[in-house]
Structures are given as C-alpha cells and as structure tokens.
Amino acid sequence: MLPSKDHMRSPYVRIAIIIAIPLMAGLGIGYALHPSDTAAAGAEQVDGTFVEAATSRAVTETSPQQQEDIAVSRRNAITRAVAAVSPSVVGINVTEIRQYRDPMSRFFGDDPLFRQFFGDRTYQQEVKGLGSGFIISSDGYIITNDHVAGNAAQITVTMTDGRRLKAELVGTDGLTDISLLKVDGKDFPNVTLGNSDDIVIGEWAIALGNPFGLFEINDKPTVTVGVISSTGMNLGSMNNRYYRDMIETDAAINGGNSGGPLVNSSGEVIGMNTLIFTGGQTSTYVGYGFAIPVNKVKKVVDELKMKGKVSRDISTGLDVQPVDARIARYFGMREVSGVIISDLRAGGPGDKAGLKVGDIILEVNGDKVKSEEDIISVLVDSSPGDILKLKVYRDKKTMDVSMKLERS
C-alpha cells in the first residue's frame, strides 16, 4: 500500500526528514576530510625517517669523553706489546761474496793441464740478501739467523728511526742457525727476553720483522698475529743446521722475517722466527712458521759473546749405524727403528754407562731415534757434563740407561 499525501503531511514525518538531512550532510563531509591509508602510511614513513635521522645524529655526535673511551678500548695487550717491541726490531741487508766455477771445469776437475791453458775458472759474485733482527742490549748487540748474516761480507742494519748502521759479525753458530751482531753506539732500545719454557699452547703470538724488505719503505716492522700452535717440534736438519724443540705458530712468517722476534702478549721475546712450512710448493707463508726458543738463543748468544763461536768438544765414546730390516729381524724387533752400537771406546761415557756393542738405542731424552742424525741433533744442544737419558733394546727387552757426556 503506497503512502498517501495525508501521511506525508504528518508532523512526525516532517520531523524525521529534518533530522536526517543534516545527519547525511555531516557524514559526507567527514568522509571527504579523512586521510587515505596511503597518506597515513606516508606520514608514518616521514615520522620514521625523522626519528632514524635524529638517532643517527645522536650516535655520531659523541662527546670528547666518549671518543676517548673508544680510543682506549682499541688498545689491548697485543697493541701494547707491539708498541713496546717495535723500536727494537731492525731490518738487515747483507752482501755475501760467493764463489762459482765455470761449468766446463767439472769435466776436467783439478787437471793441471786444463788450468795451464785455461787458468783457474772460478769467479766471485756479490749476492744481496735481507732479513730481520732485534736489539737485545742498550749497547747495540743484535740477534739474527746464521742463514741471514753468518756468511756476510757487509752488514747494514736499518733502525726504526731511519738510521742505517754498519754492523759487525761478533760470532755465528751454523748448527743452531744463530748469529750475534754489534753496532756502535749507546742507549739503543732493546727487547725483554722471556722464558720459552713457560709458553702456553694457544696463547697469542706476535711476529715482527722485515718480510720482502718492506721495512725499507717506512722504517717500521711488519706485524702479524696468531697463536702458539705447538712446541717441542723436532724438524731434523736442513743445510747442516739442526732444528730441535722449535716453536710452531700460525702468525704469518715470510721471506725476510728470518731473525725477527716472536713475542707474547706481555711484550716478551719467546723465540726467533726462522722457518716457514711451504709444502714444497712455494717460498711464501702457507699456514705455519717455526721459531727457535729464546732459552736456546740465550745460551748460544752468551757463548758467542765470549768466544765468537760455540764449542762442542763433547764425547759419547760410541759409534752407531742405523737399524735396517735385516738387523731388526736378526734381533727379533717388531719394527725397524733406532741405531745399533757398532763400536764402543773403552773407558768412554758409553762404556761407563754400561752400554754394549749390539745394543740398540731407541730414544734419547724421550725423543725417538731413527738415524745418527737424531743423536747428533741432541748433541748439538748439549755440553760436557750433561746427562742423556737413553732407552736401549737388549736381549729382546728395553732398559733405561743414563750416560754422562765428557769433554773430548
């Protein structure tokens, strides 16, 4: 049923229409003024950017005290050790005079007829080399490797203050690869020598030196950091040098580092950088380097300072030869190892210790013996009066024997 005109004229209907019209107008205006979702998001983004920028400025604008605290926090045991030792590290440049023979002369040897017609076909050539060293006393004593300066005709030492000084070779010991140099002057900065018997595997190790001659660029040593990887490493002999009880580190050591100090986090020298492990593929660092323990260095240097050389007039009174498969089988040994005593001097140290011809020496001072060289390497570090602890195989049994070394 449709509404009639009478209904439209009703006062109630008129009142409802009057109320509805402003209500609808208000809703329309409100919708037009309400911001869209995109606009709201944009406002939030602007606010976020403002807050982030304000925060960034707050972090950047640190106070002088905060800047000082940051600088102090960057200084640690390693940086302090480097600062203490660096002035005592030197770069070493050497000139060696080496003799060469004409390749043709090898076909004639020392034939006097050849020499009569062609003369002495040998000639000399200067060979340059470099390495590292460190000052151990205020009056200018410097330690380096024998393979760096042991055969040098001229030695120049570069100090961290830029001075180039001529150095004298006081003495050298090829068997332990240790040389002692001296420069004229006084009040030189010098290192503190530590105790290599107190080394802890895993502690910090700092290598300083002159790799690839980089010291010459700014008169400062190059610093690398690692840890002590192992100790007591017996590496055998190389070029008639014996490397026993070596310190192993993963601090990078390269050509030119030889003779430089290996330092602990207290700033004490615990070894002299000497060798790198290359795996036969390269002459640069591939993972591990080796240093001579400073306690051995101190012992050799004391003797070099007094006599210019190391005296090894010691005797065992023994002649030995390696055990091969035939000897091992004859004596009923389970494996091929050790050296057999082939001769024994009457009244000598071996005889006094109760050793016999035919005894097989398996160990010396706890280290396994595989050849004569292993015994020689022990004797290199020994002196008259030292006692060697031997493990000996006799009559299918092992026994312990103590042998006191005597002066030869």
Backbone angles phi, psi at 149, to 5 degrees: -125, 0
Please state, in angstroms and rounded to a whole number, the distance separating the CA atoms of residues 338 and 394: 12
Contact (Cβ atoms closer than 8 angstroms) between residue 258 and residue 238: no
Q: How far apart are the first and last CA of the chain?
A: 143
Tell me which of 132, 179, 229, 258 is the catalytic residue.
258
Residue with tokens 């795996």: 279
Please state, in angstroms and rounded to a whole number, the distance separating the CA atoms of residues 205 and 226: 5
DSSP string, 87-141: GGEEEEEEEEEEEEE-GGGGGTTT-HHHHHHH---EEEEEEEEEEEEEE-STT-E
Please state, in angstroms and rounded to a whole number, the distance separating the CA atoms of residues 334 and 360: 13
Please state, in angstroms and rounded to a whole number, the distance separating the CA atoms of residues 272 and 23: 96
Residue with tokens 């707050």: 58
Please state, in angstroms and rounded to a whole number, the distance separating the CA atoms of residues 246 and 235: 8
Q: How many CB atoms neighbour CB 277 within 10 A? A: 14
Decide if 34 is catalytic.
no
Please state, in angstroms and rounded to a whole number, the distance separating the CA atoms of residues 127 and 97: 6
* Bridge partner list, 261: 272
CA angle 34, 40, 43 (to 5 degrees): 125
Displacement of CA 376 from its chain's centroid (Å): 26
Decide if 351 is catalytic.
no
Tell me which of 86, 147, 196, 359 is the catalytic residue.
147
Tell me which of 177, 229, 359, 377 is the catalytic residue.
177
Contact (Cβ atoms closer than 8 angstroms) between residue 316 and residue 350: yes
Largest CA distance in the chain: 156
CA nearest neighbour of 374 among 358, 361, 356: 361
What DSSP designation does 402 have?
E
- Kindly provide the residue ranges of all beta strands, DSSP E only, lying in 103-260, ordered along the sequence: 122-135, 141-144, 152-158, 164-166, 168-173, 178-182, 192-193, 204-209, 222-233, 236-238, 241-243, 246-249
Which residues have a catalytic role annotated?
147, 177, 258
